Amino acid sequence: MAMEAVRGLELELEDCALPLLAGIVATDEPEEAFRDIDWALLIGAMPRREGMQRKDLLRANVGIFKQQGQALNKVAKKSVRVVVVGNPANTNALVAAHSAPSIPIEQFSALTRLDHNRALALTAAHLKVRVDQVRNVCIWGNHSNTQVPDLTHALWVNNSGQSESVLQALDQDGIQWIQNDFIPIVANRGAEIIKARKLSSALSAAKAIADHVRNWQFGTQGDQFVSMAVLSSGQQYGIPKGLMASVPVTISNGIWTVVPNLEIPEMIQKRINASIKELEDEREEALQFLSLIPSQ
Ligand code: LMR
């Protein structure tokens, strides 16, 4: 049945008449799909339906992402870069990375660019400026409703081309707006879309994946940063080693670097700590499930 849907996608891809599309391999065999690939966009996961929490999905998805990691390990190029989209994305990325020990773990990531784009759009609408006038918003932690959309270092570019602080541009109620509107709207946007569409986000997720891949391939601009969930070193922002946590990064020559030494207000750091705690719990649960799945 899934292959019928894949066939539909194949037909649509053909109909796009994409000049750069050299060929399609339509398969449900990971080792065939991943052979010699440069990029893996791991979109398929057990999907969340209305009312479900992401944690409900963990057990099923550990099995899926272990298998995908093992297949990547076996047949993909060792330089492959991996973007995990299927939820719970951060922990799925960790499971895939752990299952692919021959691929450097820095080449695994999870998508939080969708949250980043949501933060950009909401901020631009609030300030009544164009979205491309806003930059350096960021998302910390998990791609879940504990995530921390952060405007502390956000800038907007005025009509003379100068960058100004978003925080300073907000009116007196700015802090209230951030706490009561901005953070919860961005953090719960995925659930809001599922409620409305009865399906998870699709168009905005595809756009975010394209943004993520484009920046990883071609780099970020100047000192502008973007958000992606990557392996934590244990040395920054109170995030323990070995989690896939969303952080602000800049990218050059295909290498991401966490933006160093950002000042974090206490209110934001507390929220980051809570999201990190959720990631630690997910990791523990995932490791338990992993040990229950026999190795192939
Ligand atoms: C989103 O942020 O739109 C999705 O990750 C939501 C979901 O759980 O599928």
pLDDT in tens, 269-290: 999 999 999 999 999 999 988 8
Give yes or no for residue 33 having a pLDDT over 70: yes
Q: What one-letter code names the amino acid at 205?
A: A
What residues does ligand 1 touch, defined as CB less than 6 Å away? 48, 54, 87, 114, 190, 193, 200-201
Tell me if residue 126 is catalytic: no
| Mean pLDDT in residue range 102-111 | 98
pLDDT in tens, 154-208: 999 999 999 999 999 997 789 899 999 999 999 999 999 999 999 899 999 999 9
- For residue 41, the cross-strand partners are 83
pLDDT of residue 58: 85
Residue 178 Cα to ligand 1 midpoint, Å, equals: 21
pLDDT category of residue 260 using cuts at 50, 70 and 90:
very high
Please report where in the chains the tokens 């952060």 appear, as a residue: 150
pLDDT in tens, 138-150: 999 999 999 999 9
pLDDT of residue 172: 79
Give yes or no for residue 295 having a pLDDT over 70: no
pTM: predicted TM-score of the whole model, two decimal places: 0.95
Considering the candidates 116, 143, 153, 212, report the single residue annotated as catalytic: 143
Residue whose Cα lies nearest atom 5 of ligand 1: it is 190
Residue 129 Cα to ligand 1 midpoint, Å, equals: 26
d(CA 90, CA 111): 8
Please report where in the chains the tokens 């490791």 appear, as a residue: 287
Residue whose Cα lies nearest atom 6 of ligand 1: it is 190
pLDDT category of residue 294 using cuts at 50, 70 and 90:
low
Q: Which atom in ligand 1 lies closest to the alpha carbon of residue 114? A: 2
Helix H or strand E encompassing 110 = strand 108-110
Give yes or no for residue 8 having a pLDDT over 80: yes
Q: Which atom in ligand 1 lies closest to the alpha carbon of residue 54? A: 8
| Mean pLDDT in residue range 27-41 | 97
Please report where in the chains the tokens 């802090």 appear, as a residue: 175
Residue 161 Cα to ligand 1 midpoint, Å, equals: 35
DSSP label of 273: H
| Mean pLDDT in residue range 243-265 | 98
Q: Cα–Cα distances in Å, from 34 out to 111, 210, 223, 295? A: 19, 19, 34, 19
What sign does the dihedral 256-237-45-96 (CA atoms) show?
positive
pLDDT in tens, 40-99: 999 988 876 666 665 667 888 999 999 999 999 999 999 999 999 999 999 999 999 999
pLDDT of residue 97: 97
Residue 169 Cα to ligand 1 midpoint, Å, equals: 30
pLDDT in tens, 207-252: 999 999 999 999 999 999 999 999 999 999 999 999 999 999 999 9
Half-sphere exposure of 231 (CA within 13 A, CB side): 14
